[in-house]
Amino acid sequence: MHIIDFIKSIFGLKSETEDLMKKYLIVGLGNKGTKYDNTRHNIGFEVVDALAKNRDAEFEPAKLGAMAKFRFKGRTFILLKPTTYMNLSGKTVRYWLNKEKIQMENLLIICDDLSLPIGTLRIKSKGGAGGHNGLQNIQDLLGTSVYPRLRFGIGNKFSKGKQTDFVLGEWEENEQKMLMKRIKKATEAILSFGTAGLNNTMNGFNGTPLSPEPTKEENKQEKS
């Protein structure tokens, strides 16, 4: 224990180590520029934007990105949107992890996932990049694939050779209302990650793909 932390512990004050343990870096992946607004590949931006709005936090320009901060249940949440373009996201993540002295287990990356049905949330403690350029760059620069990530399903309704067009395409009008519900669910998962821990969050939020019709569970909740 650092001598300053030791002295603080004697007087019942919070140590620097304890403060750092309650600090979380939440990174939404996307591409900068208005032409990418509302595109499937930018769902990471949309999720952290929604969380910032919900917590009355505002994004401000920061080195290699835009940043917003808020406190919730004794935790500090740092929301980050890299402005390096998707395939260079790791540069921003590495810089702010070091700058804010945040532990790897307190990092959460939010990104789109073609392999999941639209609106499905999948939270994991580690994993490969799965063809995602943003995750690949983060993995390369951090030197590890062991970090929490929240994958947001965007589906795979595209014909052969049209993957890029689909990923960089805008959400369809009939998806918008349902999408808002799932983005809200993703913001709840982020708060849970910081307060209830990774395992509880995985158990509580993984799965449940988006559907235009209420699920049986949703119907039960409405009737109760």
Give me the active site residues, please: 41
Q: Of 66, 70, 57, 31, give the one whose Cα is nearest residue 195.
A: 70
CB-based contacts of 49, cutoff 8 Å, min separation 6: 28, 59, 81
- Interior/surface letters 163-191, b for 16+ CB within 10 angstroms, e for the rest: eeebbebebeeebeebbeebbebbbbbbb
Could you give the angle at the alpha carbon of 171 between the alpha carbons of 61 and 88, nearest 5°?
40
